[in-house]
Amino acid sequence: MSTSANKPIQTMAKSTLVYSCVAVFCLVFFLIYDQFSHGVHSPYMTWLFGWPLLLGALPCAVFWRIPRLRRPGWLSVRLYHSGVAALTVSSMLRGIFEIAGTASDYQQWLMIAGGLLLLGGVVAYFFKK
């Protein structure tokens, strides 16, 4: 096999590793932030690690481990990864705002944009030529 034939599999393996590291970072971020939150908790901060783990590492691991699945194209990958990133950052911001006792409309728009990007990535996967 040539190197270019293995590239999609290597990309999915790398994406799985990166998303797993991001999930660990989010968990550590929550644990440190929780120490200084004066007993105030937010489910958006508590479960922050779930976005990159469930929406990032898990699907990439499935594509990595089951080679007979059709590989996503570049548009699908870019949209999907951007959606996961937007949802993760939005959740982090919402958790920080709830703990601080404030709110922002921009966080809600970021959550909506993240969901739309995620949906766009999934749609682009199924309509790939």
Looking at residue 117, its amino acid is L
Q: Are 13 and 57 in contact (CB under 8 A)?
A: no
Place of tokens 């599999």: 9
Q: What is the pLDDT of residues 33-50, one digit of tens each?
A: 999 888 899 999 999 999
Burial class, 70, CB count within 10 angstroms (exposed 0-12 / middle 13-18 / buried 19+): exposed
Looking at residue 1, its pLDDT comes to 41
Sign of CA dihedral 10, 57, 82, 99: negative
Check pLDDT > 70 for residue 3: no
Q: What is the pLDDT of residues 88-128, one digit of tens each?
A: 999 999 999 999 999 999 999 999 999 999 999 999 999 97
In the chain, % of residues over pLDDT 90: 76
Distance in angstroms (rounded) separating the CA atoms of residues 111 and 129? 29
Check pLDDT > 80 for residue 8: no
Distance in angstroms (rounded) separating the CA atoms of residues 110 and 97? 14
